[in-house]
Amino acid sequence: MPEITMLETIWFVLWVLLWGVYFVLDGFDLGMGVLLPFISSNEQERRVIYNAAGPFWDGNEVWLITAGGVTFAAFPKAYAVMFSALYAPLLLLLFALIFRAVSFEYRNKVDSDGWRKAWDLCQFLGSLLPALLLGVAFANLFQGIPIDGEGVYHGNILKLLNPYGLLGGVLFVLMFVYHGSLWLGIKSTGGLREKAVRLSKFIWLLLTLVAVLFLVASYLFTNLYDNIFKMPPLAIFPVLAVVFLLGSRAARGYAAWALNAGFILCATFFGVLGIFPAMIPSNIDPAYSITAMNAASSELTLTIMLVVALICVPVVIAYQTWVYVVFSHKVTEKELQSEEAY
């Protein structure tokens, strides 16, 4: 196997980081979408949930496009195999996100309870399915999928719905729902805020139990711990993930949300760095795995992309930071009366 270069390593780490940032930022509004039918008891509370995500959700999904774009440009072979092997779940994810996006804009176009309920269902399913499918997809990548030496996938969507894959899906759903409940506790007031805070405590318990199960299952069914045994400093990611998750339970407001964001980031790094240098491990034969070496673009392409990233990414981060600061206030009844409110 050829040795991995510094550029390939940098882009692998950036690839992991982009997915982690996407999980953090889109995770909370996906989580609120899943909570929508369970925590809201009237139309005003439902509108608060929509408007708690309103200024942020489309900007958050830019990171999904960026992660996909980096996969395409930096690791084209990985992109080709991933979108071939995981075609069905990724297509479902795409349609779910489309209907979810439309629900924000179309929900209040007709003054009808039936109309609004239909779009609320789209919001719920368009949030639940991406969270579940992302978890299933990444869990399957962790344990390896049946691809041959040509990168051809020997299986179907049912093979992805194995116990470990479904456990990963449940983990992602709970991770995002907990993240969403914390955000809703920050953005809402009154009874809805009290319900969000109370529910976040229960979800935290479920998330902790499932996270422990996933760690044990990962030890039994994957090689995620091998790199930690080879390079002990990598243990910092699972250790920090535990610290952040425990800290989020004790903290309040933005501090709790930020700590859980740290948990999501560290959990992402633990999982994906656990399969390094593989990006799509093969469980037919490890030699068939798609790695950061055999999937990478040319050195010139990676160099140009790195320069562009160093210039553009800070601009995007600065803009999104500004958006979060501008819309840091709570969603009040006065704001719901605005013509621009959802």
pLDDT digits (tens, 9 = 90+) for 102-154: 999 999 888 899 999 999 999 999 999 999 999 999 999 999 999 998 888 88
Confidence of residue 27 (pLDDT cuts 50, 70, 90): very high
Is there a cis peptide before residue 277, judged by omega within 30 degrees of 0?
yes
Q: Hey, how many other C-beta atoms are within 10 angstroms of the C-beta on 106?
A: 15
Domain ranges of the chain: 13-335
* Burial class, 102, CB count within 10 angstroms (exposed 0-12 / middle 13-18 / buried 19+): middle
Do the Cβ atoms of 123 and 36 come closer than 8 Å?
A: yes
Tell me the per-residue pLDDT of 159-183, one tens digit each, with 9 for 90 and over. 889 999 999 999 999 999 999 999 9
**Is the whole model's pTM more than 0.75, yes or no?**
yes
> pLDDT at residue 302 above 60?
yes
Tell me the per-residue pLDDT of 47-80, one tens digit each, with 9 for 90 and over. 999 999 989 998 899 899 999 999 999 999 999 9
- Strand pairing class (278-280; 290-291): antiparallel
Check residue 77 and give its pLDDT: 93
